Amino acid sequence: MVNLKDSSVLDIVRYIFSLGLLIFSGVVVCYSIWEQKTSMWKQVPGWASLLIFIFVLWCLGVMEGLQIALVELKKLNPDYYKTSHPTAYKLGQLACKGDNIERFLMGRQVFVVCSVFFAAKLTTIHGTTDGFLFYVPDWVQAIFLETGLLACVVVVIVAQLMPQIVASIYPVQFLELLVMRPAYWACIALETTGLTHFCWILAFLFSRVFRMKEEQFEIGVEGNDEKRNGDGNDNIKISSVGYNNEAMVA
């Protein structure tokens, strides 16, 4: 995580630029949704569409962060947070059983793709921009509004990158949030329907075509080597005697 106190002038300029772009994009997107100038069904009131958009962003953020948190959790010794964060511990142990991680990824990906496509329907501006918030040249409308680029700025920064960064730095505390367990089970339930089941066959064929073999490696935990399967980080040393995360410095 970036140390804000040590930010250079260039960093500050980029923060301001990114903030300005986010605010501008957010205002345009929210205004367009409220005034029903997007491709969303006109039968849905603007205020309802805006609430739906916020809910979609929330769902997308949960799914993005949950995946990163589960991956990062495998780098930590469970004994260090088993007592202090029992919900994260139980969820992590559950996800590591059998092929639960793969099943979660399948269900999660369906949720993410559906959320992104629905967000596009909510935010993509089509047709005339008469009476818009400000004057919009035709080329601006064609490049930024009709393509949904401004909406992409909001979705990527708020609902994808931000939760991913937080989850990568604070995986245990992220998984401790109340909504994470229901979100995990929602992904498992969606995979159980068989909607993406042929992916198992494709994955098997892909591994055979490229002659991939099952990988085994060890994660070293200060005085205790545990053999694990599925993580690509070797010789990870955990030196703390308790869960403590000070990666973010304001």
Asked, for residue 246, whether it belongs to a domain, the answer is no
Rounded-to-integer distance, Cα 250 and Cα 247, Å: 10
Question: pTM of the prediction?
Answer: 0.78
Residues 211 and 145 occupy one common structural domain:
no
Instruction: Tell me how many domains the chain contains.
Output: 2
Residues 224 and 108 occupy one common structural domain:
no
- pLDDT band for 149, please (50, 70, 90 cuts): confident
Q: Which residue has the tokens 């957010």?
A: 26
Q: Residue 202 pLDDT > 90, yes or no?
A: yes
Residues 222 and 150 occupy one common structural domain:
no
- pLDDT band for 1, please (50, 70, 90 cuts): low
Instruction: Give the DSSP per-residue string, 174-223.
Output: HHTSTTHHHHHHHHHHHHHTTTTTHHHHHHHHHHHHTT-----EEEEETT
Between 172-176, 197-201, 224-228, the lowest mean confidence (pLDDT) is in: 224-228
Q: Residue 224 pLDDT > 90, yes or no?
A: no
Q: 26: domain range?
A: 4-196
Asked, for residue 57, whether it belongs to a domain, the answer is yes
Candidates 35, 183, 175, 211; CA nearest to 91 is: 175
pLDDT of residue 235: 37
Q: Hey, which of 93-102, 119-128, 232-241 has the most confident mean pLDDT?
A: 93-102
Give tens-digit pLDDT for 10-58: 999 999 999 999 999 999 899 889 988 888 998 999 999 999 999 999 9
